Amino acid sequence: MKADETPAGVTPTRASDQRRRSDEHRLMAIVEYDGSEYVGFQVQNSGRTIQGEIERALAEITQHETRIVGAGRTDSGVHAKGQVIHFTVAWNHPLSDLQRALNAVLPRDIAIVKSREAASGFHARYSARSREYRYTILDRTVRSPIANRYAHHCTKPLDEHLMDRACACLVGTHDFLPFGWPPRGDSTVRTVLRASCARSDESVLIDIEANAFLRRMVRRIVGNLMLVGLGDLSVEAFGSLLSLGHRRTPGTQAPAKGLCLMKVNYN
């Protein structure tokens, strides 16, 4: 048999396929984005998405289609400082070069903040222990053109101390049916690890950390917390909302622009 012949029964392997396997990396990255101009994180049938833009950038740089997985499917108009993604990519240069290349071709409202090799078995969504969201409310009489994209404007003063007391009712494992819809399955039970409300200058900041969230859960919670802050709903009445068997809460859903995924925590 000649040196360049392939033994019978063995399928020839192209050099490009061998190179691709040896150069594959499973990476995790932290992504920051302004969600104002997007219909959400997850790819959809129509409209620009964060996932779609990152996958487009990866295809442009590597010349291969690459699917990314995010830790959370943020809704249309929601922002992120600490979204986490993972993906497998063929790349035979320093990984820092890939991050620089991605940031060079991504839209200005999306950035890869950090990236590194992912641990064996790491999954951006299923490996997450908890997620932290922040909702920002600007409570002053006059609107702020600068803060408008990232904060909900309330023209009446809010009592952040009453709102913080109401936040304590959320901590623990509860059925959050009154505040949202499950992204998959039927269970609406979630565990809130931490919830607080505090003032920072002219803004009221609501921070909630949970093992997972229902769709629209934070925004519906915020809408009812604002009633507490305005004096239209008592702390006790807010706590009793968790026992409702329906989603007809007195507060309206807060706008998406005030919500930001701050951090995803892993073991």
Active-site amino acid positions: 75
Residue corresponding to tokens 């699917």: 67
The answer for residues whose C-beta is within 8 angstroms of residue 38's C-beta and 6 or more apart is 47, 48, 49, 50, 53, 76, 77
Residue corresponding to tokens 């600007």: 138
> Per the structure block, which two tokens stand in for 12?
């020839």
CA distance 70 to 113: 15
- Single out the residue of 150, 149, 146 nearest to residue 134, CA to CA: 150
